[in-house]
Amino acid sequence: MNTKIRDIAVIRVVDDDEDVQKAIRFLLENEEWRVQVYSSGEQFLINEASSVPGCIILYIQMEGMSGLEVQRELAVRGSTVPVIFLTAHGDVPMAVEAMKSGACDFLQKPLDPEKLLDLIEVLVARDVSERELKIPYPEAKRRFDSLTNREKQILSLALKELSNREIAEALDLSKRTVETHRQTAYRKLGVSNVKELAVAVENFM
């Protein structure tokens, strides 16, 4: 159990079924998660603070604003909090649509408690980790602007998961030259791998 993550993260449960709300709250609080419960998408969006890490457990077929509509609004707001959709029998095609729109996963009711807990653990840890990698926009912009055009070219290909050898062939450079440019660019950005690179340049490339 990661106490540090539980101290800073909040699990948001958005479902108009009171019995489901109570069951999920009981399950999560027994695991020492902090939980906020909302009975509608509208209520949730009024109170949501995406600056707080955690994850959102969102039922698709709510009355009023649907889960998909809530997700679309979160995307417009630029929220990066991971979303787990809950679906009833027959909602699977809708859940697949949600996944294509950026949801992290979906679970069918009745819920498997262990599967839900495992999924929350993974998604919240990832959310917290990615936030820790992020730096304020002005500093991120300054670092990105310090890159040369060649370094930006190489990083763009690195983000496509090309190896140094493949990048060298694509740009007609030596492998050693690519390695040198890549190391210099990583140092300027303060990153050490492609995952960190993707976070560092997400607003610029």
What structural domains does the chain harbor?
A: 3-133 (3.40.50.2300), 137-200 (1.10.10.10)
In this prediction, residue 195 has a pLDDT band, given cuts at 50, 70 and 90, of confident
Residue identified by tokens 């690519």 is 178
Over the stretch 122-169, which tens digit does the pLDDT of each residue have?
999 988 888 876 777 788 889 999 999 999 999 999 999 999 999 999
pLDDT greater at residue 135 or residue 83 = 83
* Residue 88 and residue 67 in contact, taking contact as beta carbons nearer than 8 Å: no
CB atoms within 10 A of CB 49: 10
pTM (two decimals): 0.65
Laid out side by side, the sheet with 35-38 consists of 35-38, 10-14, 54-59, 83-87, 105-108
